[in-house]
Amino acid sequence: MIGTIHKEIIVDGKRYNFKIVSEIFGDEVEFYIRAICKFTKRTSCINNLNAVLSELIGDNETDNPKYYDSSWTVTKKEAKKFMRIANNFLNCDRFMMYLEKKLDDDRDEGEWENIITERGEIKEYEEKE
């Protein structure tokens, strides 16, 4: 199912670009933060990365299955709140340095399976032989 972008905020980091997105699917809203490595174009949604998860929901609901995946189905009100929180922490220089180091580690462990093509499409990354 393809949704309609409700709102998108782009944040430019040192080694990564970030898209904070709320996408409407009928009555539901999908919220995610997509990180894109500027050099390799590898990409991943990072909501469930511990550093991001703790900023978005704190320690109170980390056991809630609603937040296990890298993108979340939420209400419009929750999406608006998460968009604001994400925009704030992604525009904090100290947090950005910390987050980009965590993303480098995550990517080095092979966790990022997708790549952005020249046309902006997201495809599964295939290692060239």
Q: What is the pLDDT of residue 2?
A: 53
Tell whether 124 is covered by a domain: no
Domain span including residue 93: 4-118
Tell whether 70 is covered by a domain: yes
pTM of the model: 0.86
Tell whether 123 is covered by a domain: no
Are the beta carbons of 48 and 120 closer than 8 angstroms?
no
- 55-67 pLDDT, tens per residue? 999 877 777 888 8
- 6-33 pLDDT, tens per residue? 789 999 999 999 999 999 888 889 999 9
Dihedrals phi, psi of 89, to nearest 5 degrees: -75, -30
Tell whether 45 is covered by a domain: yes
Helices then strands, counting H and E runs in the chain, come out as 3, 7
Q: DSSP 3-state assignment of 85?
A: helix
Tell whether 72 is covered by a domain: yes
Angle ∠(66,4,91) on CA atoms, nearest 5: 65
The number of folded domains in the chain is 1
Gap between the Cα atoms of 24 and 6, Å rounded: 6
Exposed e or buried b per residue across 82-100, where buried means at least 16 C-beta atoms within 10 angstroms of its C-beta: bbebbeebbeeeeebeebb
